[in-house]
Chains A and B, each alone.
Chain A
Amino acid sequence: DGGITQSPKYLFRKEGQNVTLSCEQNLNHDAMYWYRQDPGQGLRLIYYSQIVNDFQKGDIAEGYSVSREKKESFPLTVTSAQKNPTAFYLCASSIGAFPSSGANVLTFGAGSRLTVL
């Protein structure tokens, strides 16, 4: 089955630690995204990547870092600089950017819930 796999599903972090969330897709999509979801705030874009070895900051990139060394993988590191990291993190992908009409369809993973102790 094609899809997006996020791991771990639940993660606990101590103050001052960096943690990395994994995101792997087998959809052959060029574009990948990381969103943060907090209650009542919808989805906010952290980082996105339209192609391997390239990525762009989203609306709330401070305290986060990413890499895109392979088309299938887009890991997110939550650094100790992120002041309030407890949230539900969602990875998504799409076929690519404009002009492909398929670019409009985001496929999401099941999410990773990070809790800071």
Chain B
Amino acid sequence: QQQVKQSPQSLIVQKGGIPIINCAYENTAFDYFPWYQQFPGKGPALLIAIRPDVSEKKEGRFTISFNKSAKQFSLHIMDSQPGDSATYFCAASRYGQNFVFGPGTRLSVLP
């Protein structure tokens, strides 16, 4: 019940494309769903996050869509750029504790 599933494992898009990364969870007690971006050799950095009381959140070119009934959430990157090439992790937590991370998606944006 603590697991967060993430797909795809890797993704290649052309510049300007809209990569979509999907995550699913089981534990309905989770109340916070962040996405982290990690560049090679660096630590992950918070990209965007959502709480289950809203269905969508947008920050710049990044959008989270949240489906509470399906227990799924996804990250969309509009007008993707080569600089967006990184590994993306979804996560879930309850009360700011016990963060559970997905296995990650390696995104490559071709110029």
The reply to whether A103 and B95 form a contact with Cβ atoms under 8 Å apart is yes
Nearest residue, chain B, Cβ from A39: B104
Contact with A along B38-61 (1 / 0, CB 8 A): 000111111001000000000000
User: What is the CB-to-nearest-CB distance from A46 to chain B, in angstroms, rounded to a whole number?
Assistant: 13
CA distance A33 to B96 in the complex (A): 12
The docked-state distance in angstroms from the alpha carbon of A67 to that of B87 is: 31
Contact B41 A42, beta carbon cutoff 8 Å: no
Bound CA–CA A100/B49 (angstroms): 16
Q: Does B14 contact A (CB under 8 A)?
A: no
**Bound Cα distance from A36 to B66, whole angstroms:** 28
- CA–CA, A59 to B75, complex, Å? 26
**Are the C-beta atoms of A111 and B43 separated by less than 8 Å?**
yes
A:26-53 near B, CB below 8 Å:
33, 35, 40-45
Q: Which of B49, B95, B104 contacts A98 (CB 8 A)?
A: B95
Q: Is the interface of B mostly helix, strand, loop or mixed?
A: strand
Q: Is B62 an interface residue (CB 8 A)?
A: no
Contact with B along A74-104 (1 / 0, CB 8 A): 0000000000000000101010111111111
Bound complex: CA A43 to CA B43 (Å): 11
Instruction: Please encode chain B, from 96 to 111, with 1 for each CB lying within 8 Å of some chain A CB and 0 for all others.
Output: 1111011110000000
CA distance A80 to B99 in the complex (A): 27
A61 close to chain B: CB less than 8 A: no
- CB distance B95 to A99 under 8 Å? yes
Tell me if A98 and B101 are in contact (CB < 8 A).
no
Looking across the interface, which residue of chain A has its beta carbon closest to that of B94? A98
What is the distance, in angstroms, from A34's C-beta to the closest C-beta of chain B? 12
Smallest distance from the beta carbon of A91 to chain B beta carbons, Å? 8
Is B89 positioned at the interface, with any CB of A under 8 Å from its CB? yes
B102 in contact with A42 (CB, 8 Å): yes
Given contacts A40-B9, A42-B89, contact A106 B41 (CB under 8 A): no
Q: Could you show 7 A-B contacts with beta carbons less than 8 Å apart?
A: A42-B103, A92-B43, A97-B97, A100-B96, A104-B34, A105-B34, A106-B44
User: What are the 5 tightest A-B residue pairs by CB atom distance, in nearest-first order?
Assistant: A103-B96, A108-B43, A98-B95, A42-B101, A42-B103
